[in-house]
Structure 1
Amino acid sequence: MLKLYGSTTSPYVRRIRIWLANTQHEFINLQVFSEQDRELLMIKNPTMKIPMLEDDVDGATQIIYDSRVIYRYLTEKFADPALTWEQENQLTLIDSANDSLVQMFILSNSDIQADEDKLFFKLQKERVNAVLVQLDAYVASGKFSSWNYPTVCLYSLIDWIEFRKLHNMQGLTNLLEFHDENSQRIEVTATDPR
């Protein structure tokens, strides 16, 4: 049986949880900052990041790291179609905004305040702004009209931004409408971190 390790609040974990909604699997909710769960991560995953997927293949345990690699593994396992290059680029945009926001969120939780004049924060905010504007335009042009993996990832990002109050979404009306339109899907409500 597939085992997905993660936390209920991670946007990277949530995208895989949503994607696996109709697939039998076990979700192991980790408290990633607790000593016991950090030890488990250290044993199973040297990156010490979530999500991580465990699968028994022909009697051997296969562990897959990183949401993007997990998705690729699942598409091969279940013979799903591969992503197009356009979809790969969409994921790169989504992941870059996610990565920047995760870094700033961790720094904030470490009592390091975002200083607009510091290069690190300036670059992260610049990236997030540029990516969200591009994603807003993509939504307006219909690029996220099908409920597929990139769409799931975009939803997980926008919902996490709203949940954690990480970015002012004012003016990004297409992204906000996209969020509202998909917020009542059963797999979305079942994985809501709130």
Structure 2
Amino acid sequence: MKLIGSSTSPYVRRIRILLDEERYDFVNLDIYGADRDEIRRANPALKIPVLENDGQEIYDSRIISRYISAKQGRDPLTWDQQNQLTLIDGANDSAVIMLLAKRSGLDVDTPGVLVFDLQRERIMTTMRTLAAQVEDGQFEHWNYPAMCLYCLVDWLEFRDLVHFAGIESLLAFRDSRKTKPWVAETDPRQS
């Protein structure tokens, strides 16, 4: 089994945590630099992660998680858990857009630019919803949605993309799970 990605990607990190003790090769790429051609060869959507196993290529973290969970004999996610993943992925996608825009030299902080206003709104509305779910105990079990939420919150703080005022329960959630398996080993700050 081979996982292609970047050690700083929250989408890749969640899969690395889910893989737990599974044996796999991790190909850590510089996805915006020298290794761009490798991404083109691995995935026509030009996204990471990519999982290769027994001749099968899987292109998206959500689909990869289903594949791995089935191999590990885990129960399928409930509809509520699927909705949680949709929220997490929506906030994550918007945050990636904001990060890439900043790295492209665009001013993402000035109000009135529709594309950036919409991303900020999506991120904060979603984060407030996720914080309420954390406070309601919906992420108590260390399952795939909790792993994804952990990776999102930690990555947002790592990249300094969100102010956590009013949603501090997300930081408390993250801090209470720092000792879970493969969390420390996949910390993007070690890259």
TM-score, scaled to structure 2: 0.95
Supply the RMSD in Å over aligned alpha carbons.
Answer: 1.0
- Among candidates 116, 120, 133, match of residue 115 of structure 2: 120
Report the alpha carbon displacement of residue 42 of structure 1 after superposing the two structures with TM: 1.2
Paired position in structure 2 for 1:47: 45
Can you list the C-alpha shifts for 1:41-69, whole angstroms capped at 9, x where unaligned?
A: 2122101110000001xxxx111001001
Can you list the C-alpha shifts for 1:29-50, whole angstroms capped at 9, x where unaligned?
A: 0111224x21122122101110
- 1:34 matched to 2:33? The reply is yes
The 1-side partners of 2:181 and 2:138 are apart by: 22
- 1:92 matched to 2:89? The reply is no
Report the alpha carbon displacement of residue 94 of structure 1 after superposing the two structures with TM: 0.3
Question: Which of structure 1's runs of 4+ aligned residues deviate more than 4 A?
Answer: none
Identity of aligned residues (%): 48
Q: Which deviates further from its counterpart, 114-123 or 157-166? A: 114-123
The 1-side partners of 2:74 and 2:172 are apart by: 29
TM-score, scaled to structure 1: 0.94
- Among candidates 61, 66, 81, match of residue 67 of structure 1: 61
Maintained 8 Å contact 2:17/2:181: no
The 1-side partners of 2:72 and 2:150 are apart by: 23
Report the alpha carbon displacement of residue 21 of structure 1 after superposing the two structures with TM: 1.8
Maintained 8 Å contact 2:19/2:68: no
- 1:148 matched to 2:143? The reply is yes
The 1-side partners of 2:168 and 2:105 are apart by: 32
The 2-side partners of 1:42 and 1:8 are apart by: 18
Paired position in structure 2 for 1:22: 21
Can you list the C-alpha shifts for 1:115-141, whole angstroms capped at 9, x where unaligned?
A: 311111111111111100000000000
**Is there any run of 5+ residues in structure 1 with no aligned partner, and where?**
none
Q: How many residues align?
A: 188
The 1-side partners of 2:160 and 2:179 are apart by: 20
Q: Secondary structure at the match of 2:116?
A: helix
**Is there any run of 5+ residues in structure 2 with no aligned partner, and where?**
none
